[in-house]
Structure 1
């Protein structure tokens, strides 16, 4: 196999050769979630893409992967979430009068606007829930309409954040005016209550915080299970590592790479670089980005004093009132954000790991700070820099409407909502496979449609191949359809070409878009062969089994397990606690029903008589006794016989006096009896029997309803056209009834000649010659139509 190469963020440019520190093994640490809210599609993008690479390394390249992931269960976002949740619960337990509660909410409303959208209060404007909507539209109308605040360029994160705050204020203004403050105005109440009562929270009571994180960790794991993301070999949690974190920080201080200031400990970037160590290796261009630095420190740590350098970051934070606390040599405090990963990863994987991964938004400052503090911990003075991570893999972020999807912007769709409304787990994974793992992905209808089309083509291919195998097994009593090693047919050549191209794609930094194209092209070539009368079933099976293996490696089949030697999507039904007899019972019932209905038609042929007399139950019992648990194999004797009976009566139909009943029964067998069992009979060209296809019942019923709906629509259009024609004929007949002598006798005129043509206008003047000429032509047409009507009436009256 060719050398695997990967995109390594530590070495920007083309992929570099991947060589693990221990042959055949991969030590891998992935940044896990901060658990305080629902997981969204941005998380799915990160963890599904990571899972795809992990599976390829394990199941394609054969590495033994030790995959470690952390759970961040204490940080500024979690502290705020837990603390505010507790304060809101306490507030809801108070017996406020409606007036007091309304005043509280109004004050919170104004405080929220002042802190997040001060433009609403500029020039001393007295903002209130009552005048908010008008003021909002005047100040932020452009943003709400999809534009930017400046009127130039495309909206981005700033506009998304504005919309979030505006939506919060909009909901709160309505709730306050409707006296539904608690529950309707929580988003503006929470920060205000926090500003009033945060000091009342006991930081030693960690349960306030861990109750929140345990709940959301479980929800996250459920979401990952739903997406078929493998669980890590090791999961670490920050709150379980605080003593080790204290020791780790203390060692960095002893080495002179960190310093204490007012109870907090900061990493000394200048001292680190002075000792010959590089800082911001991943994103050197971002090292002075103040906004990113502040975001990395957390919202509760802004404007902390005592730093020697602007970019120095907290390893240990002095806890303020209302924050969780642990003991340390520097006083009561809590871990900084970046230090957790350094300590936990090093504890499990040692002083050096092969792979560290996470979302691209973590590259700076999180991962750059991780690298610096870890290399400071492990480095030895005078021996040069220490390399803590050999390969950094950064997953591209996911965006929606041009803005990164994130919890803080509230512009996200949760994984659960997406799976309930827009995607299947497999469909979502296909979307991510169609893009490079290290590129951004824009959620769009086109991407979803492409994924659905790709999945449908693979699914249809599996169905056709399995059907052809079952057919050939029955016709030729073929017991083994394994590939002929000496075969040199076209499909074998196509398969070998695809296998080489797949290796090229996956060794090129897990190029899954290219890999997906390889599968599509191979399936297209195989389908061409499958639709031939002399289809190469052996070759088709070989192709289908290889495709099965690859989609299994990609994690597209939640029921499949390595080494993925099956054919098609694995069925969960085989493992269910259902006996073979229970499995085939509905199929046996349909067989007996069809047999009875055909016998009632009194049809006979040598083939049909043999089919009706066949002991199908005995064939099934032989399979069950042999230990078969494959549902499709167990029911095949009944399906095959029903299909052949249907084929035979269709042959007899043209010369039978019961032709109409035969064709009706044929349609009933295909469209009703077998559809309700999740089976479709695909009628092929003359001389070939119908192909038995296993298709989910829901899909077949949906197709049947769609067909019926189209027929109803067609009938409705036909009926509407008939009624329209009848109306036209009726109007025409009603008009023809009028005698030409009477057609102009109305108030427009005052005199007429003997034929009924007007001679004088209403006022007495002569009818203009030009008008009279037109009326004469109309009169002649009416005379002809009237005479035809009279003739028709006379004829019908005879």
Structure 2
């Protein structure tokens, strides 16, 4: 680490010019050390978006690599987006930043074409189906949507123009097969090796098997159409026309660079994605953005002191199963739908919170069980305390040692608040923040009957507020952690209640039905059966009728997987 013109410099990374956040992060651009998170001043007007100011005046520009939509979303994907969701909630709801979050969606790709051929469908039908499933899965998990979703097929002209600018700067060449290829040698290894050290023999793009490439590192910008391969399941050619590039479609890496540029232009605060995207995808993105910038400004890539496109790369650790990365290619994945049939959405959020976002998680049922135990401790604590607070509003100290105990607990409460803040500032260390909260729960439980109710109230509010920041919907009235699933159930039951009211009114208005008691009885039984069946089919609540003489309720409710 050295200082140049008063700015900290870590190897090939420069600290942004802006107001320090007080947060330090593990930035993939800087190996083996954490660096201060500084949100760059955006008063220069080079960004196309604007937002209302918060207590931190500058917003955070953030891009996340989204899925290639050709198959079911699995919990390995979900771990990535859940971790990003947690960090963004902390930045927005705890640290007070405003965010502009963009997610890129790859809706044209070799895998999508192959899937369409297998199912005799268009690539559009395949990509829309799995994109909708992805969005539905994210909603079910309580993951907040991005502000913008950019799709490759909707940004084809921007991608073409982006490639043209790179070509004008001399950073690409055309192979004998007609593929427009990025020239890593032209950029230089010092500029290319931003995330991972490579040499001329390092392979950068597995999709480009072309002996006429200059080096194995070079990668696809635009691939010419292949008449037999680039046809979807209903015979449509998957290609776009370009006078300069020829008929074809873009490579994978160029998509993100161009789509980011369409929103944020030449500067980006934070780029996130799974750790498997660090190389080659993100490294190639950086190379393209540097080449585009130098081409547009007719400058040269002047060593490692040149243009810095993205200030921070945050990479999310793998979710593995039996020690192997969970992936579609290995066929060892658990889809989000399958997971939610067995476990709650909150359990996955707890799993991400109890592990550092950038470290691997080995998934097994014991991990889920530990998450459920931790969640139960928080829920039980809040429910028990709220019950006590609801029963009595008196803060009278009835025992002589109550003040002493309250003072001891208050001191620990203040320490926990400082500790939690420290941990969240330290690379969003949620595991240790939660351990600090649990220590507060433990001591409060020990002193519960010997402390002032007012102090108990404030501890309850503090714990619940942190759960809200972490993404749990705490309801002060019902003392429960509500999830999207519970909200869906409540909405369904309210709607069903109104339906019953409507049906009963129709029956009451019908003169004919009163002249036929048997038909009335039949209609009423049918109505009750419809309610029972709907509850089971729609929200997984199975209602069983029982003998009313054996219980105070003439029914039993069983929750099934739905």
Partner of residue 415, structure 2: 497
Q: 1:672 to 1:468 in 2, by over 3 A?
A: farther
On the 8 A contact 1:2/1:503 being kept in 2, the answer is no
On the 8 A contact 1:545/1:568 being kept in 2, the answer is no
Q: 1:477 to 1:396 in 2, by over 3 A?
A: closer
Task: Describe the superposition over 1:326-362 as per-residue Cα deviations: whole angstroms up to 9, x where unpaired.
Answer: 1122321100000000000111112010000000000
* Candidates 122, 134, 137, aligned match of 1:220: 134
Q: 1:61 to 1:477 in 2, by over 3 A?
A: closer
Residue 326 (1) aligns with residue 345 (2):
no
Residue 238 (1) aligns with residue 159 (2):
no
TM-score by length of 2: 0.74
Q: Which has the larger radius of gyration?
A: 1
The farther-off stretch of 509-518 and 303-312 is: 303-312
The whole-number CA distance in structure 1 between the counterparts of 2:123 and 2:199 is 32
Structure 1 residue 570 displacement after superposition: 5.2
Q: 1:63 to 1:566 in 2, by over 3 A?
A: farther
Aligned ranges 1:654-665 → 2 under 5 Å: none
The whole-number CA distance in structure 2 between the counterparts of 1:675 and 1:58 is 48
* Candidates 302, 312, 328, aligned match of 1:407: 328
On the 8 A contact 1:399/1:405 being kept in 2, the answer is yes
Residue 440 (1) aligns with residue 360 (2):
yes
Structure 2: unaligned runs, 5 residues or longer: 1-19, 42-56, 231-237, 397-404, 498-549
On the 8 A contact 1:548/1:569 being kept in 2, the answer is no
Structure 1 residue 489 displacement after superposition: 2.4
* Candidates 7, 18, 31, aligned match of 2:37: 18
Partner of residue 511, structure 1: 429
Q: 1:287 to 1:506 in 2, by over 3 A?
A: farther
The whole-number CA distance in structure 1 between the counterparts of 2:388 and 2:33 is 44
The whole-number CA distance in structure 2 between the counterparts of 1:286 and 1:498 is 48
The whole-number CA distance in structure 2 between the counterparts of 1:674 and 1:477 is 38
On the 8 A contact 1:9/1:392 being kept in 2, the answer is yes
Aligned ranges 1:527-566 → 2 under 5 Å: 527-530=445-448, 532=449, 534-557=450-473
The whole-number CA distance in structure 1 between the counterparts of 2:197 and 2:413 is 46
Q: 1:539 to 1:674 in 2, by over 3 A?
A: farther
- For the residue of structure 2 that corresponds to 1:436, the secondary structure is coil
How large is the RMSD of aligned CA atoms in angstroms?
3.0
On the 8 A contact 2:40/2:58 being kept in 1, the answer is no
On the 8 A contact 2:406/2:451 being kept in 1, the answer is no
Partner of residue 210, structure 2: 304
The whole-number CA distance in structure 1 between the counterparts of 2:191 and 2:477 is 48
- For the residue of structure 2 that corresponds to 1:311, the secondary structure is coil
* Structure with more relative contact order (C-alpha pairs < 8 Å, separation 6 or more): 2
- For the residue of structure 2 that corresponds to 1:454, the secondary structure is helix
Aligned ranges 1:627-646 → 2 under 5 Å: none
Q: How many residues align?
A: 446
Residue 31 (1) aligns with residue 71 (2):
no
Q: 1:2 to 1:212 in 2, by over 3 A?
A: closer
The whole-number CA distance in structure 2 between the counterparts of 1:391 and 1:219 is 30
Which structure's residues are more often strand, by fraction? Answer: 2
Structure 1 residue 456 displacement after superposition: 0.6
TM-score by length of 1: 0.53
Structure 1 residue 311 displacement after superposition: 1.1
- For the residue of structure 2 that corresponds to 1:32, the secondary structure is strand
Q: 1:236 to 1:426 in 2, by over 3 A?
A: same
Structure 1: unaligned runs, 5 residues or longer: 90-207, 479-486, 583-670, 678-696, 700-798
* Candidates 378, 383, 386, aligned match of 1:458: 378
The whole-number CA distance in structure 2 between the counterparts of 1:72 and 1:382 is 31
The whole-number CA distance in structure 1 between the counterparts of 2:354 and 2:337 is 22
Task: Describe the superposition over 1:704-763 as per-residue Cα deviations: whole angstroms up to 9, x where unpaired.
Answer: xxxxxxxxxxxxxxxxxxxxxxxxxxxxxxxxxxxxxxxxxxxxxxxxxxxxxxxxxxxx
On the 8 A contact 1:264/1:333 being kept in 2, the answer is no
